[in-house]
Amino acid sequence: TDDNGHYKLKFKALPDLSYEENEFLSFNYQISVDVTDINGETQSTSKNLNVGNRALQVSLPLSGLINKNDLRYDDEEDKQIQIATYNLNGEYIPASGEIKIYKLKDLPEAIRTRHWTRPDKHIFTKEEWNEKFPGNIYDNELENLQLEKDKQVFMTVFNTKEQKKLDFSIVKGFETGRYVAEIYSTDAFGNKVSNKHFFNVFTDEGNEIPYKVIDLFSAVKTYCEPGEDAEFLIGTSNKNVTVLFQIEHKDQIVSSQYLTLNNEQKLIKIPVEEKHRGNFSVHFVFVKNNRYYNHSSVVYVPYSNKYLDIEFETFRDKLYPGEKEQWRLKIKGHKGDKVAAEMLATLYDASLDQFRTNYWDFNIYNSYYTTRTWNTGTFSYLNSTLIKKNLDMSIYVANLYYDYFNWFGFNYYPGYYGYYGGLDEVIVTGNGRVRGNNRLSFKRKVSKAIPAPVMEEAKADAFAFDDAPTSEKESREENLSTISTTDLKQQGGDLLGGKNEEDFSEVKVRTNFNETAFFFPHLKTNEEGEVIVEFTVPESLTKWKMMGFATTKDLQYGSITNELVTQKDLMLLPNEPRFFRENDKIYFSRKNQ
């Protein structure tokens, strides 16, 4: 790796020659990397890489049904249409090109799709087919690619290096109908790339159907608060269509009514009440020309009146090991008002999430989804079935049963049992040790009277001798009153060499390596709706995860999470050996951070 920890890997992307060459052909390669740092720690990763004949892809998020009166597009963020230019691996690359949008010619009539595959040969001509089977698809008329262009309604050039978005107002000015958006560009190697996006534009205003279609449905507004209206649009180009409209709430059908459509669309509005919190569902069903159509949708009405908003007023994401810290958190109701709440808070080592992710799931309010669906097998197709008479004859043979003894749970099995015994044996092996000329430190009872100061020094945990005896025999003959001793705790002598080391008494040794910094199960808000958290962070150099959960007497609740790291301005991470033997020399390698 370089000074920034980056590395480069070059390889020759060989293609699979068994595939036929075309402009959209691409191959996937997998790269696996194992990286080891100076401490011997190894991390592994892998990445899939796509390489093809084109180095650029372009797209626009225009597809499906688009309501040009959707209020969401009035928002400054949502009203932007993103122009996506990226490579084969989904990574953004700047590119320039042009965008053209065309209005497509509509079908002469609404036609049904087929339930089987498209035939490769036709017995009837298209005119004969439409005469005998009106309203049914003949070939591939419903495919967007087969629709003719009517007129160009929009054209612009783009450069994603400077501007990546289009304003949605261009769609607001379109007529209702079918459209295609074409985007063109060129990759870094001069290859032309393009893409097409088909979409349909409608409006929820008025009753005019936007284009020829048997079944038109759009969930206009499905996220509501009490006092608002849920909105659904349903329409058809056919006449005299009766639609069954039902509302399901808490697993029960609470409303049923019939709607009549005559080559029109209708916007259905459903008032949302407080009792609807926890969601409800709607169902639309109708049958036309022996074809069954249905739509079901969930209206989401959250328990927003039970949500608490928790935010940090003071928080530092970097702390020194062992540092004292104070956090101040603000708890507000769903309307931003002050509340009296109790809070549970904890801070723990985030590395524990590698074994099991910690989270608090508190969901005591029921959410309802649809449990009833409309379905029919009347207008469907069946595979052929061969019915035959079964000529196979079965012969019944009766089983014979005989009387037997009832052993009442006892078993009798003839045989022999063997027993064996033994005594524990103790083997003693003598081990001897040769005392060499190593420097040593030992304690023994002093037989001579020693002046008080020296005796006080002799009570230290260990001794260091500048002129140490070379054998145990000489040490026994040594006159202790003539030996100068040094208090190891104060002078830092070296037992092996008998020389004083540097004084590290001012160095603070880290000792608190708790994996849980704190766990406060009962914190209360003050008069300002604030919670004060005071703690001393442990001395581990790691990332910490904070989790908090608050609740009120009327079961409003909320949660919050955050992360911080404990680190020093300069950190030395040693790579110490796990095992070593007496008289080994130890070298500590370390990594600077």
What percentage of the chain exceeds 90 in pLDDT? Answer: 46
Is the CB of residue 371 less than 8 Å from the CB of residue 248?
yes
| pLDDT tens sequence across 180-235 | 999 999 998 899 999 999 999 999 998 999 999 999 999 999 999 999 999 999 99
Q: Which residue has the higher pLDDT, 476 or 386?
A: 386
Quick one: pLDDT band at residue 69, thresholds 50, 70, 90?
confident
Q: Which of the 8 DSSP states describes residue 75?
A: S
Per-residue pLDDT at 424 exceeds 50: no
- CA nearest 154: which of 130, 126, 129, 175? 175
Report the predicted TM-score, pTM, of the whole model to 2 decimal places: 0.70
- Give the torsion sign (CA, 485, 488, 490, 492): positive
Quick one: pLDDT band at residue 299, thresholds 50, 70, 90?
very high
Query: Which residue's structure tokens are 């019915």?
Result: 387
Quick one: pLDDT band at residue 261, thresholds 50, 70, 90?
very high
CATH architecture for segment(s) 216-299: Sandwich (2.60)
Question: What is the Cβ-side half-sphere exposure of residue 418, based on CA atoms within 13 angstroms?
Answer: 1
Quick one: pLDDT band at residue 479, thresholds 50, 70, 90?
low
CATH of domain 304-366+511-572: 2.60.40.1930
Please give the pLDDT value at position 539.
Answer: 92
Give me the chain's average pLDDT, please.
82
d(CA 317, CA 563): 7
DSSP states along 434-467: ---S----------S---HHHHHHHTSS----TT
Is the CB of residue 46 less than 8 Å from the CB of residue 32?
yes
**Within this chain, domains 216-299 and 304-366+511-572 share the same CATH topology:** yes
Please give the pLDDT value at position 493.
Answer: 46
| pLDDT tens sequence across 37-54 | 777 778 899 989 999 888
- Domain map of the chain by residue range? 1-16+25-107+146-191, 216-299, 304-366+511-572, 440-497
Considering only the C-alpha atoms of the chain, give the largest distance between any 2 of them, rounded to a whole number of Å: 131
Window from 158-172, 274-288, 373-387 with minimum mean pLDDT: 373-387
Per-residue pLDDT at 439 exceeds 80: no
Q: Which residue has the higher pLDDT, 145 or 269?
A: 269
Is the CB of residue 100 less than 8 Å from the CB of residue 182?
yes
d(CA 111, CA 242): 18
Alpha-carbon distances of 9 from 1, 31, 33, 83, 288, rounded to whole Å = 11, 9, 10, 31, 62
d(CA 453, CA 451): 6
Please give the pLDDT value at position 381.
Answer: 64
| pLDDT tens sequence across 575-585 | 777 777 888 88
Please give the pLDDT value at position 561.
Answer: 95
| pLDDT tens sequence across 358-394 | 888 888 899 999 888 877 766 566 677 777 777 676 7
